Amino acid sequence: QVQVVESGGGLVQAGGSLRLSCTASGLIFDAYAMGWFRQAPGKEREGVSCINYSGGRTVYADSVKDRFTTSRDNTRNTLYLQMNSLKPDDTAIYYCATSDEYYCSASWYYGRNFGAWGQGTQVTVSS
């Protein structure tokens, strides 16, 4: 059984930084792409970033490009999301998910083909 656990959320002022972590167990971690997603109150879930199985390729939503960086440590079964220059619009619950594929598909943003999801971690950015 695959288990995914996020950590690192919290309250930060606008312009600040946070780093989220996600550990996954019960799977061959370095065989699958991973993704970060978020859902703000009253809004639909949206993709934040996706990273392929090796970490050699990442894709980002336009809203976070140049501010967020996704990386992975396959020796630790851990995924990271470094968030810089945070804005109040970044306030959301952030979720980590494991892909069913080794690469980030064209539909990654919608969370398709992501089989296991964590419970999420709250990120709140104050103005």
Give pLDDT tens digits for 75-106.
Answer: 999 999 999 999 999 999 999 999 999 999 99
Average pLDDT rounded to a whole number, residues 58-63: 98
- Among 30, 86, 83, 35, residue whose Cα is nearest residue 54: 30
**3-7: strand order across its sheet:** 3-7, 18-25, 78-83, 68-73
Give pLDDT tens digits for 24-36.
Answer: 999 999 999 999 9
Q: Which residues contact 62 (CB under 8 A, 6 or more apart)?
A: none
Q: What is the pLDDT of residue 119?
A: 97
Neighbours of 36 (CB within 10 A): 25
